[in-house]
Amino acid sequence: MKVLVGYATVYGSTKEVAEKVGEVLKSKGMEVDVKSVTEISDVSAYDAAVIGAPVMKFSFLPPAKKFVKSNRDALSKIPVAYFSIGFKMINDTQEGRDWMMKKLKVVTKVVEPVDVGLFGGKYIKPEKGLKMPFPEGDWRDWDKITAWAEGLATKLK
């Protein structure tokens, strides 16, 4: 089974999560390509896809939205999962999960997923660009990400 793990990222944190998801799926015997959504021109060669992006400025990152919408027909024919990282998942509350799922509707309404993973992200204040009103830190729970990806392996088949 050939799986695409596509991601959109600004500072690289989502790419690292995508790489971990890809690593776990490979350990389950899947053939995996981990690529930026901006580098993917054709999804027809894949049997399943996992698409990840952060929620920034209250929205699933635009390149990921565009990718899902542009590839709607091909993605609708295969199992698809989404993951997202964001500040609302730092404490993993139901309120945070509901908020994140609301932001992911822009893609979940286009191609319905077999699963969605929601995780805390990583934030280091950039010298330039968007500065968020919360402290720097890494809230990615690698055990939780790994467990989600392990469960995903059966859902993508």
pLDDT of residue 134: 66
| Structural domains of the chain, ranges and CATH numbers in brackets | 2-155 (3.40.50.360)
Report residue 22 as tokens.
Answer: 């890809």
| Tens-place pLDDT, residues 63-104 | 999 999 999 999 999 999 999 998 888 888 999 999 999 999
Please name which of 94, 107, 98, 99 lies closest in space to residue 6, comparing C-alpha atoms.
107
At residue 135, does pLDDT exceed 80?
no
In the predicted structure, residue 16 carries a pLDDT above the cut 70: yes
Burial class (CB in 10 A: 0-12, 13-18, 19+), 136: exposed
The predicted pLDDT at position 116 comes to 98
Average pLDDT over residues 24-45: 97
Mean pLDDT of 35-49: 97
DSSP calls for the chain: -EEEEEE--SSSHHHHHHHHHHHHHHHTT-EEEEEEGGG----TT-SEEEEEEEEETTEE-HHHHHHHHHTHHHHTTS-EEEEEE-GGGTTT-HHHHHHHHHHHHHHHTTS--SEEEEE--EE---SSS---SS--EE---HHHHHHHHHHHHHHT-
Question: What pTM, to 2 d.p., does this model score?
Answer: 0.92
pLDDT at 62 over 90: yes
pLDDT of res. 129: 59
